[in-house]
Structure 1
Amino acid sequence: MAGVPVELTPEDFEAVTQKPGMCVVDFWAPWCEPCHEFAPVFSEAAARFPDITFARLDAEAHEAVAEPLGIDAYPTIVAFKDGLEVRRVSEALSPEALDRLLVALRAVDVSEEERRKTNRERTEAGELPTGVPEGAIWDDGDEEWSFGPKDAKGRPHGTWRYWRADGTLCNECIMVQGNPHGPFRRFHEDGAVSQEGAFEQGQLHGPRTWIASDGFTSERMHEGGVSERVRKTVMHYDRGTVRQVEHFNGDGQRVVPSTGEPYPTRPAHLPEDAELREDLNQWAKVTLNADRERHGLTRFWDAQGQLLWEAEFDNGRRHGRYWSRAEDTYADFRVHFEEGRAEGDFACGEWALMDAQRAVVLKRDLGLAMDEQTLARSPVFSNLPRSAEGWRELAKEARADRRYREALLATARACATSLDVQPLKQGLEELTLPRTQDSARQVADSVVGNAGQAWAPMADALMRGGEAATLLRGYAVLLDQTDRPRAALDFLHAAMLLAPERKAYLFTRGLILLNLGVADQVQKDAEGLAEAEPDTARFLATYARALFPRFDFWAGQEPPSCTYDGLPEKPAQSLEAIQQLVRKYATRLQAIRGALLQRYKPGAAVSWLPPDLSGLLGNGPVELKQEEMELGEDEQVEIDETLNLEMGFADLTLMLRGDWSALSWLLWSCGETTFKMPTRIAPPAGYGQAAGQASQRLWQSRDRKFRGNSSATKPGQGFLFEGVALGDLHPNLVSIAERQYAETQAMFYWLNDPDNVSPWQSNLRGS
């Protein structure tokens, strides 16, 4: 019925979309929120365009239709004309954008679309499309054909033209000795100009204009949040540097790019090239280099034209003078302005805080700026321990050289070692800018959130008065992630001394202690966290049990069970092969155990480590192979039994867990109940159930991991993992269960098929 979308089925899809005339299909999915938001927009358009057939297809329910069409995002709107697909858009369009698409559909010349389709097929076959001259060259990177004259050295020289894969002209420009020089134009598929401007010796110079099309086009214009109402954009260049950008509607009126609304009146005293930053509701005068990075003086004003801040930039980084309004920013209520310098984005040298009359209230030397590479190499981040006196000596040396960032960080480590926080508080008071509590926390939170994976920004925030406890905790997290847990613990303890009321820091300490293998203290921290953050405490306690389980004989502790059919009755590998695999598991486990022991002081008692399995290695460790193997004619499988013992502590313990589980079940499958070399194959009655259980639990873990709350395993349901039901496990802990059962399944796959060579074959870990 005209004016109402048709609900399609696989049976009528072809009949509806292939009939003469125009048709648009909305491919949607029931779980897709943008799809539901777009549905009324689509239905309302159907009433406005009665000459076009509107249809909807539940792509999830009818994968057999959607998958061959390559529909992999929702919603996707596909437009057909006379049975030919002429356009697809994978997003929820606004009513205005949808109307524009539908109007363009009316103007489509099907014979021209057929010609372009044929040309694309010719390009894919390496043949010239019709309309492209002989001698044209295809560029895979730009996905364009190009042709033009060359000079005596073989460089493009003269007028060059470029064509799309479909044979439509997309660009023409003048080349001089290999560089663009002079006017250029780009074109929409229908031949209308899409861009025009000029180059001067390879650099854009003067106005560069984008012109929108009412037809279908692959030319880019409405990107980065630019409204469909914008029909022309002019970017003014000065030898590669962008000086100004203007946007216009169809009537030639200047508009705000994101909304298409009329551009507001600029305050009279601002420079003519000051532009509105609509996201901030501020005016800005920004000079950009050829890479569109800030370069030179940048100034921002509020909506009424009051100067907010100005700074000098050098190729995208603050470098030089900086000035800003600073009311309600600093602890001294008199401060209204701040002024200082920056190098490479970081504050340095003398900074001044001034009152409303620009009189100086406070001056502070922020010392030398330190870039990312320099600070990252600093000894303050070393994982090697020092005495408190050693850290104080390092702080003294750094302070004498005006390396105040290092001085404060070294002082933090000294305080963590001595448990005396006063020197750190004194250093912060003497060296950093004194912000209000709210401002300090805002600075710290912003830097940790945006640049918490880098060394220099957090130190810079510390000098600018950012809240020290938050920043030191940020360093603790970064150090732990880069496998320096001892250093991480020092910074975290310094943060806890500064902010002892923050119970959440116990969670951070628990993660660091896990990386140090201090299992008992982690459980205590989880208990201390339980009242303030019970969910986090449960996660920490379960994570600790997962990394440091009780390494006894895991297999057969509960009767294995699964719901799969066609399970094996007994192993298919020979006793000799099984014995050799036991030696390989024992070799790996002994190597991991040794690597973990090396992380402790000699002679340390590590209660949680698994028992010594050297009794399974009568003649010592066996060879672990790394090779490739052919399976049939077309499949190649990699086998990698080797170990990377340089990985982090947690990864080593998880690898230990996976191998321990696999070895336990391997021995159990031969009838053993302890870690002894089997001398016969006597599988227990539940052997097949155990093999199936490993695969089923792996599938359940992956289903829970990837589908979350929509998985088949609901909260409170599923097998128990370290005392917690699978449905209640945090996603990170589900990944640990998945890893364990992937290793156990691989062992059973090997055990049940004599054609398999090793459990470490790359094809044995599917679900």
Structure 2
Amino acid sequence: MAGAPVELTPDNYEEVTQQPGVCVVDFWAPWCAPCRAFAPIFAAAAERFPDFTFAKLDTEAHESLSEPLGIESIPTLIAFKEGVEIHRASGALPAAALDALLGRLESVDVAELKRRAANRKLTEEGKPPQGVPKGATWDPGDAEWSFGPKDPKGRQHGTWKFWRADGTLCNECIMKHGTPHGVFKRFHESGEVSQEGTFDQGQLHGPRTWFASEHFTTERMHENGVSEKVKKTVMLYDQGEVRQVLHFDGTGQRVVPTTGEPYPTRPAHLPDGAELREDLDQWALVSLNADGERHGLVRFWDRQGLLLWEAEYVNGFRQGLYRSRAGDTYADFRVHFEEGQAHADFACGEWSLLDAQRQVVLTRDLGLAQDERTLEHSEVFSNLARTAEGWREFARQARADKRYREALLATARACSTSLDVQPLQEGLELLTLPRTRPSAHALAMSVVEEAGQRWAPMADCLMRGGEAATLLRAYAVLLDQTDRPRAALDFLHAAMLLAPERKAYLFTRGLILLNLGLAEQVHQDAAGLATEEPDTALFLTTYARALFPKFDFWPDQEAPRCTYDGLPEGPQQPLESVQQVVRKYATRIQTIRAELLRRFKPGAAVSWLPPDLSPLLGAGPVKLEQFDWEFGDDTVEIDETLDLEQGLADLTLLLRGDWSALTWLLWACGEKTFRMPTRLSPPADYGQGAGQASQRLWQSRDRRIRGGGGSKPGEGFQFEGVALGDLHPNLVTIAERQYAETQAMFYWLSDSDHVSPWQSNLRGS
């Protein structure tokens, strides 16, 4: 079987995994992209290791095999030797790492593994395993046994030893009155030294050295992209602060950590401590504090040793002077350098742009640095409406206080309200650093990508010359996500005034308008996108229909059908229970309806709201309950209550699910309109209706999980006029949610053992 992976099934699983030698199994699933990427790497390794057996197990097709092994993520690699599991790794391994792992597995001593397994069992029983002194104590936090002398106050004092749960020695450390002080060593399971170094009053000081092992080990070494060629790593500490990290191969030659290739020659004029940053292809001199944060002067050079930038840091934040090269960055071609001040990572005060001789070309005051908390709670992001003059007055006051970030953002809102972009353009020209268009766009995009969910970095980027349209749109998205759609719309309109050519902003506006409940305007924006971005336009229109459907009697839209067997024949709940559940659905819908209406101006016509269901309530709303219920050996939660603090879109989706469940409940009782059932007279296709809800829930989940592996384009049931196979993944979840609620109702209705459609155990597929 060597040379190609074997497909495992229940019929051959034991035979393949328990044979002599090493068997390596790749646990995967067809819908898993990392699994597909790892498959050719795994297959190629099978060719290079003909003495091993390679096998693959489809966890989706053979859940009965993978579930007992506790496979929690895929791909997962498990190696067996003589039927005993000897190693497990999650995630797709690069080819080099896989080869290195396989090379170590062949030398694994199965007898030793069995001995360690027996020791772990003793540890589980609270007994020190073989090799661990009887007086040792188990620390569940560190998962280690420990033993050593103590001082009169009971503190660790002297040489202490530590063992793993399997009884192998993992650490020796000199303690002084409870604090590490002196040399320490860690060990691989084989007994080889894995680390050694020195503590000084609890702080690492001097060289701390890691050693690789050719044997299997749980000690950390080749992590975070470090090549298997690295056999020794030395980290130099100065009272807990890392000063330098060096990597060496098996011959003792210094190497680049990610490739294991020889380390390049440092330019002669750079400080001795400068290290190559492979990810940037730059030399760096970085000092860190005890927490590993930048602290002190930080400097970066290009590969040839030309200084790129330098900055002063305090505990991880830029604080003080900042200088950098700035060629092709600013609109004035004479600018070659920039320098200024930073406070808590943000630019502030006077900044200068310098020419090649470091003569000042331009200075600009960037005002006060404003932190995350200050900006997050600023009135400039308030969802309350103001007049254009109101925002202009806010901007004038902010500018007088040197709060230039807020001044510009308030000016953006004023311009959005007045539809006059000129004051914003003038403010940007006067207050921000004048970058070239490509530089401004690149800076804004990088900040939005890295910090688009934070308020202060984007405002700082604006002051440093980042493109305003991109940043204002990002603020619009952030405000919309934090349930401030009116403010979001102002910022989005300001962005559109600055960049009217960007039709993609219509999509952003459409999403904001949906959160404002303005469905008709959304359809207009979708029409504007249809010729250039038809897929985006289809998404917007379908999303609008999903959030604001026509609330009529939904079972009338189509005859139910499904392909399942064993369908229920009719309701099993008594009429009184059915009537009470109808009242609860009606109470929930009326409550959501009232909350949605409250969010609009008094007297506003909200055409998409569902009809008034008060005739179903008779004496008025009923109590919505929350309690636990014992169901067999399990405790099931029943929660009929509502969270009305959600955004408008989330409330409408909640409404959609309840509406579907209620209308199908009335249909299941024989009703054809919104009337309280007085008898149970299920239609002949009752089972088809119940089965359809479950089948469509399963199809939706399959489409969401498997993506293209689910329903194919053009296939599947219709959801708001679009076939499931054509539905955007973000909209598939809406269909899934609707049918989960409808299924829960049918499960309850068709089984008298259930007590409520809101049982937590009724929404599985």
Work out whether the TM-score is over 0.5: yes
- Return the offset for 1:90: 4.0
One-letter amino acid of the structure 1 residue matched with residue 441 of structure 2: R
SS of 1:230 mapped into structure 2: coil
Indicate if the aligned counterparts of 2:41 and 2:95 stay in contact, CA closer than 8 A. Answer: no
Q: Distance between the aligned counterparts of 1:7 and 1:538, measured in 2?
A: 42
After superposition, give the CA deviation of every residue in 1:721-762 in whole Å (9 maximum; x if it has no partner). Answer: 111111111111111111111111111112112222111111
Residue in 2 that maps onto 1:646:
645
Q: Distance between the aligned counterparts of 1:630 and 1:39, measured in 2?
A: 47
- Return the offset for 1:461: 0.3
Q: Distance between the aligned counterparts of 1:738 and 1:28, measured in 2?
A: 28
Q: Distance between the aligned counterparts of 1:15 and 1:571, measured in 2?
A: 49
Q: How does 1:587-602 map to 2 (within 5 A)?
A: 587-602=587-602
- Return the offset for 1:43: 2.9
Residue in 1 that maps onto 2:664:
665
After superposition, give the CA deviation of every residue in 1:100-132 in whole Å (9 maximum; x if it has no partner). Answer: 445534543333222111111111222211111
* Number of aligned residues: 760
Q: Distance between the aligned counterparts of 2:77 and 2:557, measured in 1?
A: 55
- Aligned CA distance change for structure 1 residues 522 and 4 (closer, same or farther; 3 Å): closer
Q: Distance between the aligned counterparts of 2:589 and 2:313, measured in 1?
A: 55
Residue in 2 that maps onto 1:656:
655
Q: Distance between the aligned counterparts of 1:16 and 1:763, measured in 2?
A: 38
- Aligned CA distance change for structure 1 residues 494 and 44 (closer, same or farther; 3 Å): same
Indicate if the aligned counterparts of 2:347 and 2:369 stay in contact, CA closer than 8 A. Answer: yes
Q: Distance between the aligned counterparts of 2:747 and 2:362, measured in 1?
A: 72
Q: Distance between the aligned counterparts of 2:717 and 2:49, measured in 1?
A: 51
Indicate if the aligned counterparts of 2:46 and 2:54 stay in contact, CA closer than 8 A. Answer: no
Q: How does 1:26-45 map to 2 (within 5 A)?
A: 26-27=25-26, 29=28, 31=30, 32-45=35-48
Indicate if the aligned counterparts of 1:294 and 1:313 stay in contact, CA closer than 8 A. Answer: yes
Instruction: Kindly report the root-mean-square deviation, in angstroms, between the aligned alpha carbons of the 2 structures.
Output: 1.9
Q: How does 1:626-705 map to 2 (within 5 A)?
A: 626-632=626-632, 634-705=633-704
The TM-score normalised by the length of structure 1 is 0.96
Residue in 1 that maps onto 2:575:
575
After superposition, give the CA deviation of every residue in 1:122-171 in whole Å (9 maximum; x if it has no partner). Answer: 11222211111122222222111112222232222221111111100101
- Aligned CA distance change for structure 1 residues 300 and 416 (closer, same or farther; 3 Å): same
Q: Distance between the aligned counterparts of 1:263 and 1:516, measured in 2?
A: 58
SS of 1:705 mapped into structure 2: helix
- Return the offset for 1:283: 0.5
SS of 2:568 mapped into structure 1: coil
- Return the offset for 1:66: 4.5
One-letter amino acid of the structure 2 residue matched with residue 357 of structure 1: Q
Q: Distance between the aligned counterparts of 2:480 and 2:442, measured in 1?
A: 24
Residue in 2 that maps onto 1:507:
507
Q: Distance between the aligned counterparts of 2:156 and 2:369, measured in 1?
A: 46
After superposition, give the CA deviation of every residue in 1:402-437 in whole Å (9 maximum; x if it has no partner). Answer: 000000000101111111111100100000000000
Q: How does 1:331-342 map to 2 (within 5 A)?
A: 331-342=331-342
Q: Tell me, yes or no, if structure 1 residue 723 matches structure 2 residue 749.
A: no
Residue in 2 that maps onto 1:739:
737
Q: Distance between the aligned counterparts of 1:81 and 1:410, measured in 2?
A: 68
Q: Distance between the aligned counterparts of 1:697 and 1:469, measured in 2?
A: 42
One-letter amino acid of the structure 2 residue matched with residue 228 of structure 1: E
- Aligned CA distance change for structure 1 residues 747 and 448 (closer, same or farther; 3 Å): same
Q: Tell me, yes or no, if structure 1 residue 613 matches structure 2 residue 613.
A: yes
Residue in 1 that maps onto 2:165:
165
- Return the offset for 1:585: 1.1
- Return the offset for 1:690: 1.1
- Return the offset for 1:568: 2.5
- Aligned CA distance change for structure 1 residues 309 and 644 (closer, same or farther; 3 Å): same
Residue in 2 that maps onto 1:749:
747
After superposition, give the CA deviation of every residue in 1:436-490 in whole Å (9 maximum; x if it has no partner). Answer: 0000000110111110000000000000000000000000000000000010000
- Aligned CA distance change for structure 1 residues 715 and 250 (closer, same or farther; 3 Å): same
- Return the offset for 1:563: 1.2
Q: Distance between the aligned counterparts of 1:216 and 1:307, measured in 2?
A: 44
Residue in 2 that maps onto 1:214:
214
Q: Tell me, yes or no, if structure 1 residue 356 matches structure 2 residue 356.
A: yes
Q: Distance between the aligned counterparts of 2:576 and 2:9, measured in 1?
A: 58
- Aligned CA distance change for structure 1 residues 670 and 108 (closer, same or farther; 3 Å): closer
Q: Distance between the aligned counterparts of 1:44 and 1:738, measured in 2?
A: 44
One-letter amino acid of the structure 1 residue matched with residue 685 of structure 2: G
One-letter amino acid of the structure 2 residue matched with residue 563 of structure 1: T
SS of 2:259 mapped into structure 1: coil
Indicate if the aligned counterparts of 2:38 and 2:93 stay in contact, CA closer than 8 A. Answer: no
Indicate if the aligned counterparts of 2:2 and 2:47 stay in contact, CA closer than 8 A. Answer: no
- Return the offset for 1:65: 4.5
Q: Distance between the aligned counterparts of 2:680 and 2:698, measured in 1?
A: 28
The TM-score normalised by the length of structure 2 is 0.96
- Aligned CA distance change for structure 1 residues 501 and 751 (closer, same or farther; 3 Å): same
Residue in 2 that maps onto 1:411:
411
Residue in 2 that maps onto 1:761:
759
One-letter amino acid of the structure 2 residue matched with residue 42 of structure 1: A
Q: Distance between the aligned counterparts of 1:415 and 1:422, measured in 2?
A: 8
Q: Distance between the aligned counterparts of 2:77 and 2:759, measured in 1?
A: 43
One-letter amino acid of the structure 1 residue matched with residue 114 of structure 2: E
One-letter amino acid of the structure 1 residue matched with residue 645 of structure 2: E
One-letter amino acid of the structure 2 residue matched with residue 373 of structure 1: R
Residue in 1 that maps onto 2:498:
498
- Return the offset for 1:72: 5.4
Indicate if the aligned counterparts of 1:639 and 1:758 stay in contact, CA closer than 8 A. Answer: yes
After superposition, give the CA deviation of every residue in 1:60-116 in whole Å (9 maximum; x if it has no partner). Answer: 465554444445555555444444333334455556545544553454333322211
After superposition, give the CA deviation of every residue in 1:500-528 in whole Å (9 maximum; x if it has no partner). Answer: 11111111111111111111111101101
Q: Distance between the aligned counterparts of 1:729 and 1:58, measured in 2?
A: 31
